Amino acid sequence: MSSFFDNFNGDDRSLDNAAKNILSFKSVAAIILKSTNAAFKDWSVKEIAEKALEADERNQERIRLLNNESNIPGERNTRFDLFFKVTLPDGQTIYMDLDFQRNRDGNLLIRALFYGAKIITSQENSDYKETVSTWINMEPRVEERNTMVSYRLEPFKLTDGTAVEPVLTPLETFEEQGKLNPLVLTIINVGKPGSENFSGIFEFLYLLFHGEIEVVEDTFEKYDIELTKEGKEDMQEYMSLTESYLREGFEKGLKQNVENVRKETQNEARSLAVEGLMNELNISREEAEKMAKKILPFSKIDDNENN
């Protein structure tokens, strides 16, 4: 089944921007961090929002965002959705890239790797920080719904197999060495109500972008945080845009389906007419097709449309 966005003919950057506005709230990012980063297992969501995330100077409810463009000489510019610093409970600082996606073709990992590598190469050589790139996929494939997968760099010792095959021997992980992993990618595949494992972070993110305001408020209260007036307004804007795109996509899809039925009916009538002329007049298919084109009224309409 195709996504309703497949039938949307306009520019959906406004919808993406509305989603980023929602994710830029410290409370929302804190819930995502609590669900994806084991370093915060002993911190409440409220503590994460207050201690781990720096507030924007103009709006204390939102995260202070860093420059989200990678401008590496000789390479095309890359823009991240939300890029910011996170302070871990032990005082170390990491970079976090938070991206909102609707991806059904299964190639999100390659894109996440590309973006993560861009963040690492954009850093100052003397101050490399762990990069955590988290991707929220709102339209995963059915088999991926309500799954969360993490990818990280791990060192192995490569031993020459001498005519057999090389042998990979695990070494101490970065964490075991007391170091932060240079790159951690996490993909959150959000399912739909009624699907298996629809709870926790999956339910929260689904409701955040599809639920009624009152339901989302109750969800926030579970984490002892409040859905602010500005947060409600951002959610309403996103839902309004979604409804608009749904309507436009439905209308376009309906029009296309009607057109497909019309053409199928005409093709069937044309085929029957050609067969009948061939049998009755004992003429070739080519001659029958030319004659049918002159006789059938919709053939002239097709010619006008093609011109």
Q: Which residue has the higher pLDDT, 88 or 123?
A: 88
- Can you read off the two tokens belonging to residue 13? 């950057």
- pLDDT tier at 250, thresholds 50, 70, 90: very low
**pTM for this prediction:** 0.71
Q: Is 70 exceeded by the pLDDT of residue 293?
A: yes
What is the Cα–Cα distance from 10 to 38, expressed in whole angstroms? 40
What pLDDT is stored for residue 188 in this prediction? 94
What is the Cα–Cα distance from 302 to 298, expressed in whole angstroms? 6
Q: Which residue has the higher pLDDT, 246 or 2?
A: 246
- Can you read off the two tokens belonging to residue 20? 């980023």
What pLDDT is stored for residue 163 in this prediction? 57
What pLDDT is stored for residue 257 in this prediction? 55
Q: Is 90 exceeded by the pLDDT of residue 36?
A: yes
Select, from the ranges 19-23, 266-270, 278-282, the one with the highest average predicted confidence (pLDDT): 19-23
What pLDDT is stored for residue 233 in this prediction? 85
Mean pLDDT (the chain, rounded): 78
Q: Is 90 exceeded by the pLDDT of residue 189?
A: yes
Of 109, 115, 114, nearest to 137 by C-alpha is: 109
What is the Cα–Cα distance from 54 to 60, expressed in whole angstroms? 9
What pLDDT is stored for residue 246 in this prediction? 54
- In single-letter form, the type of residue at position 1 comes to M
- In single-letter form, the type of residue at position 7 comes to N
